[in-house]
Structure 1
């Protein structure tokens, strides 16, 4: 028996950004996209969304953790870019994720 159904109201429909994040590759792509968002990209992607309560740097830190957990060497360039992020926690998590990926080889 199916208890779920698609959102009836457009306000509750998933945003385009999340549509392909249903598997490992899609999740990695989403994490890379979040890492590379600037303030304008973030504002546009989440306009009218409660997710904007989380600051951009917080989502970017979480995206680094995602990449550390499921990322591959293909994700190292994005993580390297995060090593110069203005927020220390993002830099720390990007460094951790890079080390984990390199250790996995």
Structure 2
């Protein structure tokens, strides 16, 4: 017996940017997208969402960690761009991720 049913409440529907995030390939893509966002993109993408409690710089820090753990050489350009970010913590995490990708290339 299954209790699952189709989503009926549009307010709970996944936002466009998260549709591919469940796949292994989608996770780095989402992290790259977050790193490329500016404040206006962030506000528009998450309008009316509780995720806006987290500041964009916090999500960018987390995205650097994601890419450091599962990213590939394709992610180096966006990580390099983060090495000049205003927030020191993002610069530090970007440098860490770049070093991780260099030391641990995927199989």
TM-score band by shorter chain is over 0.9
Q: Which runs of 4+ in 1 moved over 2 A?
A: 1-7
1:102 equivalent in structure 2: 102
- Which 5+ residue runs of structure 2 have no aligned equivalent? none
2:26 equivalent in structure 1: 26
> What's the secondary structure of 2:25's corresponding residue?
helix
- The answer to whether structure 1 residue 88 and structure 2 residue 88 are counterparts is yes
- The answer to whether structure 1 residue 73 and structure 2 residue 73 are counterparts is yes
Q: TM-score, normalised by structure 1?
A: 0.94
The 3 A distance-change label for structure 1 pair 35 and 9 is same
RMSD (Å) for aligned C-alpha atoms: 1.2
